[in-house]
Amino acid sequence: MPIATPSQYASMLDAAQKGDYAYPAINISSLVTLNAALKGFADKKSDGIIQVSLGGGKFASGINVGCSVEGAIVLAEAAHRLAKKYDILIALHTDHCQPDKVDSFLKPLIAETTKWRAEGKGNLFQSHMLDASELPLDENMKLSIELHKLCAENEIILEVEAGVVGGEEDGIDNSDQPAEKLYTSTEDMIQVHESLSKIGRYMFAATFGNVHGSYKPGHVKLRPEILKEGQDAVIAKYGEQARFDLVFHGGSGTPTEQIRETLSYGVVKMNIDTDTQYAFTRPIADHMYKHYDGVLKIDGEIGNKKQYDPRSYLKAAEQGIATRLGEACDDLLSTGKSICGTV
């Protein structure tokens, strides 16, 4: 199935809202991780979201090019081609983009979708994330409104964030943020709705203590009830049509019971990156330890080509990500719920 059209993406989000489940959103940075993501979703018969960060795009473009936009486009184009081989729906998304990167990352990618649409090829990306949480909310919403209008013209869904996701991810370090900034207030959630709802559909990463990275149990103090309180408040004031499509950032390492609690509060997308990075690297490390004498030419020996051939361990890495992503589909209750072929 080709990558989801804008209307199919909307149907995906509607189905998740109605069915109290959510889609894993997995970051990729290479063809191996892209194939792993497609395999993971397909094996679980789950639709899903594949996303590219600035760092992931830069890595994918190679050391000499080092361009986030070029790498993101290359990965998206590859996804459009490879997704046709699978009977699931996939949406393409870009992860955290700070205000100072909007002109050099988001706007060029939106322009690329505009070009694709003019050529009759549909959308390159189905959604993008603006992370302007570093700004006061009024300034955040001013920039969000500008980008939301630009996205809406191209049937792109914009994801915004109010409140700060703690920890460090892809070069973005919020580990020193004061605790109160990790929890989005009900008043802020209402302001986000009032600022963006008239323009078109959007997704909202409201924060409830979530932190990027993976931590031992008890380290992260999640308060999922914040999502319910904000959701209830906006619906009470503006009706059921005001319900947020919420996004859960920093999902790696979260206990299943807390993940499941957020689903009934309107979470339709959960980002997973740290755990899938580990799932990629763990089988590679295992291969190296088990085949140390084969992957290295020691004491004048010639090694074992079959063991140092990158395909021998990258295949295991692909399987590692696919397996961990499948666990996320189970946790988020998206397993077996693909709407491919019905929309």
Element (H, E) at 300: none
Q: Is the pLDDT of residue 220 over 90?
A: no
Say whether pLDDT at 219 is over 90: no
- The residue-averaged pLDDT of 211-220 equals 54
Bridge partner residues of 52 (DSSP): 94
CA R_g for the chain: 20
pLDDT of 212 reads: 55
Architecture per CATH, 6-332 = Alpha-Beta Barrel (3.20)
Residue 64: pLDDT band with limits 50, 70, 90: very high
What local confidence, expressed as pLDDT, does residue 2 receive?
85
Which residues, other chains included, contact 312 with Cβ-Cβ below 8 Å and sequence gap of 6+?
287, 306
Q: What is the pLDDT of residue 180?
A: 55
Please compute the mean of the pLDDT values over residues 210-223 and round it to a whole number: 61
Among left, alpha and beta (phi > 0; psi -120 to 50; other), residue 46 is beta
Angle, helices 31-43/310-332, rounded to nearest 10 degrees:
40
What was the pLDDT predicted at 175?
45
More confident residue, 177 or 64: 64
Round the average pLDDT of the chain to a whole number and report it.
92
Q: Where are the domains of the chain?
A: 6-332
Average pLDDT over residues 48-74: 98
pLDDT digits (tens, 9 = 90+) for 187-202: 999 999 999 999 999 9
Decide if pLDDT at 110 tops 90. yes
Mean pLDDT of 305-334: 98
What would the pLDDT profile of 264-299 be if each residue is shown by its tens digit?
A: 999 999 999 999 999 999 999 999 999 999 999 998
Active site residues: 95
Say whether pLDDT at 169 is over 70.
no
pLDDT at position 223 is 87
**β 90-94/48-52 pair status:** parallel
- pLDDT at position 275: 94
Q: What per-residue confidence (pLDDT) applies to 80?
A: 98
Whether the pTM exceeds 0.75: the reply is yes
Which helix (H) or strand (E) is 90 found in, with range? strand 90-94
**Rounded distance, CA 263 to CA 247, Å?**
10
Q: What share of the chain is helix, strand, coil (3-state, %, to 5)?
A: 50, 15, 35
The span from the CA of 333 to the CA of 10, in Å, is: 18
